[in-house]
Structure 1
């Protein structure tokens, strides 16, 4: 379990770091070039590392459902939406919305057993967790407005 927690924390740090890089590339190149670079370089890196680590087993895709192949297409939507939301909302607020959305969708997916997931009952604690996160986002956003008003009047 500890390894899973560490890996999740590292993934979160990587996503935040990638978003900073993506927004900087987007300032110069635009959303579609940014998406192409991110996913294209990601493909190359994954492919090379996969070949080194797994060798020919990399290509063994036994019993994979056809719709799972569309994950890369979903990745296009992820990158484009993230780049645009960061551009319009700023990194911290955009990422907090993304995290709340991920949590909400994960709870719905688990509760309904979507896409072959094991169904996990929805509890009041999960609902409370979502409320706490959304409230935290609102407090964060509202506190930023007061600071911004103070800076403008000074």
Structure 2
């Protein structure tokens, strides 16, 4: 596998998400901020970190060429805020593990649709039985985790 280092970068990104959920829960619990306010402060911190990293890597911030973009390309931040908010709302009630499992399944289902259709200009990736089997196994894993949690709650 020639791109193995990207697998590890992706794994690192995945390790950060549960940590982020726990940290924002602690922030919300101790700061008195609401869920949506906590999300706002998370994004302020992310914007500052992105600015510092961009300045370090690129040396400056260059304005985008607005004329070459479409309106929907600017909605990514809105989608990111909604994504984070959904996780922050769910995690205190169903736990970080279950939240991330169902978020992951949602991501995989939509990513599969996007890849197989070439959505938003992506290169088309063929959908096959193995990919569908993988999605099914993730779903079954989610059901097992829900069953396990409910079984433990009853006993």
1:4-153 residue pairs with structure 2 within 5 A? 4-27=6-29, 28-56=32-60, 58-59=61-62, 61-62=64-65, 63-150=68-155
CA shift for structure 1 position 121: 1.5
Shift of residue 64, structure 1, vs aligned partner: 4.1
What is the distance in 1 between the residues matched to 2:77 and 2:62?
Answer: 16
Cα deviation, residue 5, structure 1: 0.8
Which segments of 5 or more consecutive residues in structure 1 lack a partner in the other structure? none
Structural RMSD (CA): 1.4
Output one character per residue of 1:122-153: Cα deviation in whole Å (capped at 9) or x when no partner: 11111100000000110111012112222xxx
- 1:2-24 deviations in whole A, cap 9, x for unaligned? 21110011000011111111222
**Alignment partner of 1:134: what SS?**
helix
CA distance in 2, matches of 1:19, 1:68: 26
SS in 2 for 1:29: coil
Matched residue SS, 1:59: coil
| Greater share of helix | 1
| Alpha-carbon distance in structure 2 between the residues aligned to 1:23 and 1:97 | 19
Tell me the distance in 1 between the aligned counterparts of 2:81 and 2:124.
28
Q: How far does the alpha carbon of each residue in 1:28-65 deviate from its partner, in whole angstroms, 9 at most, with x for none?
A: 32112111110011001101110111023x42535444
Normalised by the size of structure 1, how large is the TM-score? 0.90
What is the TM-score of this pair, normalised by structure 2? 0.89
The answer to whether the Cα contact below 8 Å between 1:26 and 1:83 also exists between their aligned partners in 2 is: no
**Mapped partners of 2:27, 2:113: distance in 1:** 34
